[in-house]
Structure 1
Amino acid sequence: MARKIIHIDMDAFYASVEQRDFPEYRGKPIVVGGSPDGRGVVATASYEARKFGVKSAMSSRQAIQLCPEAIFVRPRFDAYKAVSAGIREIFGRYTDLIEPLSLDEAYLDVTVDKLNIGSAMEIAKQIKQAIKDELNLTASAGVSSNKFVAKIASDMNKPDGLTFIGPSKIEAFMEKLPVERFFGVGKVTAKKMKSMHLHTGEDLKKLSEQQLVRYFGKAGKFYYSIVRGIDERPVHAERETKSLAAEDTFQHDLITLEEMYTELSKLTEKVVLRLSRNQLKGRTITLKIKFSDFKQITRNHSFTQPISDYQTIIDTAKELLDNVDLEDKPVRLLGISLSNFGVLLSQPKPGNPYQLELFD
């Protein structure tokens, strides 16, 4: 039996929440992100701003150049999380097989649905309508028999779109798909493919699996399968937290170690707080550094036992930083993340100084 997969993607989520909550923003170009006066980055933009070419991850300075009338709004993540919880509650009326990808998008497996509706398209319609009626927001949905195609479909008729690509249409659809739309194909890989005269799925289909692996590594196996409409990845109801991180892009480049130490201290405090909230400990600390020329490096250190305390994290981050050649390299961004988690199984009993840990 073919699976029934829905991919729901909220439309310009952060910006739409701002326009919903603040009537003065409605119909105007809204950019959620950092200030254009500094080194802010666009988190998302309303459709009014997107018409001018404003995109997520673009610098706020570039955004204001493209759209001088843009209104910049600082993110309100608590508000977005609250709305996301409401969206998740709506999903849960139809299925428990929900795989959230972020606050504003998720996969749903409705092969067997709670209400015995049977039609994935009807379920997608009802979900979209519930989001509109109860949350006053719009979402786009893609429906297909696998995750890859459902995700592509959800982006085809935004905003407020609903697109179905049935099993019999998938292979022809994949043949026409530009290579840059394939999962895992970034700018570098797309450029490489086009230099090899590989522009669409149909072009990729002409290569054998061995050839694709030779040219593109392990991803070649995925390309070989998906261009033939094969994607067996299940919808995972619970996505394991892989890492917790904090990073910051600075108004002015950092030059001295003292400045960097100060910022690392602030980042460590954020990471420790997030670890505490999630009751997690990790064994690998990673330091991320982006220089003023946008070159980026990472350095990491792993422990034999999981840790979560401020002092160990800050000391390790400083040591990793000390081992980087910073001469004549102003720093634009710093980040700290903890990964390789152990999961707490039980609290220590009185008189027992140890906690049970189950490691990855």
Structure 2
Amino acid sequence: MNKENLLPQNDIHRRIIHLDMDAFYASVEMQEHPEWKNKALIVGQDPRQNGGHGVVATCNYVARKYGVHSAMAAIQAVRLVPKELIVFTRPRFDKYRAVSAKIHSFMHDVTDQVESVALDEAYLDVTHPKIEQEFAVQIALDLQKRIRQEVGLNSSFGVSYNKFLAKMGSEYAKPFGRTVILPSEVQNFLAMQKIEKFPGIGPKTQEELHQMGVYTGADLQKVEVLTLIKKFKKMGYILAQHARGIDLRPVVTDSEANRKSIGMERTYEPAIYTEDEALTNIRNYCNHLEAALKKRNFKAGTVVIKVRNNNFDTVTKRKKLKTPSDSHLDFYDVARDLFEATSSFLDDGIRLLGVTVTDFEKKKYQSISLFD
């Protein structure tokens, strides 16, 4: 620990890649519907057909030019985009999972140190890769090229010595971005970024930082560590580290051999402030968990949700199912009830949301006669 500024010693020996697919769901859909290429494509239910409900799961870059973004109310997207340009299509998660699995197989050809964040993004620790190529930048370039050639989709990547910086890098030059942040460049790179670009800083925290006169990374670097801790508690300590390019979190691999639970969680930037958006994401998680269980012939007996707000307050709640199940409908019913008990977290913005299933048992198959 550095006593002068209360921060841990930085670690710059690792080589981390953050790979992020560009408008993943929308790009998969445009592959099969090239006529949508110049349309404002929105993946989600058309609110004009269901009473104005629903949120944008994702959208292509044409739609983004009109101000549409993920998690926006779908009816708002209708107001932003000219009627003749807008196209809605329902999400097809089976298709997205299949494409994602192929992309992830490319990552595992490079390293076993892969941490999947979602279907469309992952961290790779290539400090000691499985291949002969030792330069992280070239590994990232080769991955990006392979995905383009074999899957037909574009991706962006960031390369640096920790997860926080790699994530900032992948977001820096989207789409089809390539950003490398060297240790010698970190302070200058962070100094010129708007505070809104820092992962994990939601609208409420942005407003509070603005009230402190903090609008850029350079401004944040000038604030005393103790001041940030006093103001934002745990999050303040993390902000102080990030402002100086410190992030000691390892890439956490998904070990099938020792797995006693299956879960999905995601950090949201910006944070979630509406119940509709939160429940939409929970529903998507439950769909993924059903597929994962059926792949292993498992049923789960317990559902767990994890919620963290922008103040880094975290709550975990669990509930047993009446009978073990592999149905996303059963998981969602329980997860929705659990979430309602934590909905007050929406006031401060939910920055992390996750659903896990556990207490596994193997499916039992019953033999029947087709002739009875």
TM-score under structure 2 normalisation? 0.70
| 8 Å contact kept, 1:140–1:159 | yes
Change (3 A) 1:26 1:283: closer
Per the alignment, residue 22 of structure 1 pairs with: 33
Q: Judge conservation of contact 1:11–1:138 (CA < 8 Å) in 2.
A: yes
SS in structure 1 at match of 2:57: strand
How much has 1:149 moved relative to structure 2? 0.8
Aligned mates of 1:35, 1:89 — CA distance in 2: 33
Partners of 1:46 and 1:270 lie apart in 2 by 23
Q: Distance in 1 between matches of 2:133 and 2:108?
A: 14
Deviations 1:57-88 (A, max 9, x none): 11111111111221111111111111001101
Q: Give me the whole-angstrom Cα distance separating, in 2, the residues matched to 1:226 and 1:8.
A: 20
Larger Rg: 1
Distance in 2 between the 1:226 and 1:282 partners?
A: 39
1:190 corresponds, among 206, 210, 213, to 206
Q: Report deviation, 1:308.
A: 3.6
Distance of 1:141 and 1:96 partners within structure 2? 18
Which one of the candidate residues 36, 43, 66 is aligned to 2:57? 43
Residue 136 of structure 2 is matched in structure 1 by: 120
Report what 1:53 is aligned to: 67
| Structure 2 Cα separation of the partners of residues 20 and 166 of structure 1 | 35
Q: Say which of 121, 125, 140 aligns to 2:156.
A: 140
The answer for unaligned runs of 5 or more in structure 2 is 1-11, 256-260, 266-274, 278-282, 308-314, 342-353, 365-372
- Distance, in Å, in 2 between the alignment partners of 1:2 and 1:287 is 32
- Cα deviation for residue 302 of structure 1 reads 4.9
Cα separation, 1, equivalents of 2:237 and 2:174: 30
Match for residue 188 of structure 2 among 172, 187, 201: 172
Distance (whole Å) between structure 2 residues aligned to residue 285 and residue 90 of structure 1: 31
Q: Which has the higher contact order (CA 8 A, sep 6+)?
A: 2
Give, in angstroms, the shift of residue 219 of structure 1: 1.2
1:203 corresponds in structure 2 to 219
> CA offset at residue 286 of structure 1?
6.5
Per the TM alignment, residue 249 of structure 1 is displaced from its structure 2 partner at its CA by 5.8
Number of positions where the alignment pairs a residue of Structure 1 with one of Structure 2? 303
Cα root mean square deviation, aligned: 3.8
CA distance in 1 between partners of 2:289 and 2:146 (Å): 37
- SS of match in other structure, 1:42: coil
* Contact kept in structure 2, 1:9 and 1:104, CA below 8 Å: yes
Secondary structure of the equivalent of 1:130? helix
Q: Shift in Å at residue 155 of structure 1? A: 1.2
For the Cα contact (< 8 Å) 1:212–1:220, is it kept in 2? Answer: yes
Q: What is the CA deviation profile of residues 19-46 of structure 1, one whole-angstrom value per residue up to 9, with x for unaligned ones?
A: 1112222232211111121312111111
Give 2:349's aligned residue: none
TM-score between both structures, scaled by the size of structure 1: 0.73
